[in-house]
Amino acid sequence: MMNISQIEWCNFTWNPVTGCRHGCPYCYAAKQAKRFSGDVRINKGSSQLRKDENGLYILDNPFKNQVGKVIPEPVGFEPIMHRYRLPMPAQKKKPANIFVCSLGDLFGPWIPDTWIEEVFRACEAAPWHNYLFMTRYPQRYEQMSSIGLLPRSRNFWYGTTVTRSADLDQIVFLPRKQHNQFINIEPLLEEIDISDIDFMDWIIIGAETGNRRDKVKPKREWIETIVTAARTAEIPVFMNSSKELEKLWGGDLIQEFPAELILPEEKPIPHCKKCEYCKITPEGKRGSRHDCMKVGKHIPGRYARTSPTWCPFRNE
């Protein structure tokens, strides 16, 4: 299934296409791909991978190495279509905010229109979700809109990544009655004047995290400038939680959502060990066995110890 997201402004990340050629020095997705790629040189020789007419990789089934272990990113951070992931949104029945292609740029110039259209069709097959896209190439939105390939559904949200003032020159205007647009100012690398983009529906702000040698630490006044402009234009603001931003801003971070992205409040899911249906049986040095009496099955220990990703209440 899709990954439950650690990103606060979405519920899930879904990566039918991964990889990017932009080359941002602070990119967390590139580090993630390297971590979960295995031996890329050996992987590329596998018959599990095939190439399309553009020379881009396509994976029809999860990639497995020589010992049967699934490798999520077999070609590292090179662009690849994970076609087997396309049905995943339709398999999730509870409405959610889904960040599409968090580990790549779906609208990069190296991605063919056909791949983007496949992703759009998969989204349209599950219209009860909200889909949030992000790119450094918003001109692609405009190009696809001009030929009728950019969905106008109100549950599609088209985001542009902005880190410096120069990035604002690339932002395109999509008719507000037809499309939702937002900007993701993350990481904030310099002071940015956003007073001319009052047509946006949402603004996300984030600081660079990690320990990169040339890491940029934003100034409080940079953030105040953005927030002031957003307040003037009545645009909701969401600050991504990080120790960097919390230290800089102080107090409670502003975390606002557009009304369309506010989902019905979900019923809290208890830890298994605190649930009334959980039967706990001591097993000596092995610890305790946990059984769910609601569905009559054993619960693996990792679910008993942490907030469950598996639970009979989750899809009720």
Instruction: List residues bridging with 100 in a β-sheet.
Output: 14
Angle at alpha carbon of residue 173, lines to 170 and 175, rounded to 5°: 160
Task: Give me the tens of pLDDT residue by residue for the chain, a chain 316 residues long.
Answer: 588 888 999 999 999 999 999 999 888 889 889 999 999 999 999 999 999 999 999 999 999 999 999 999 999 999 999 999 999 999 999 999 999 999 999 999 999 999 999 999 999 999 999 999 999 999 999 999 999 999 999 999 999 999 999 999 999 999 888 899 999 999 999 999 999 999 999 999 999 888 888 889 999 999 999 999 999 999 999 999 988 999 999 878 999 999 999 987 755 666 777 788 888 888 887 778 888 888 788 876 555 444 455 676 665 5
CA distance linking residue 111 with residue 123, whole number of Å = 18
Ordered DSSP codes for 63-102: -B-TTS-B-S-TTTTS-EEEGGGTTHHHH--S--EEEETT
What are the two backbone dihedrals, phi and then psi, of residue 231, each rounded to the nearest 5 degrees? Answer: -65, -40
Burial label for 291, CB within 10 Å (0-12, 13-18, 19+), is: middle
Q: Whose CA is closest to 137, among 163, 119, 115, 159?
A: 159
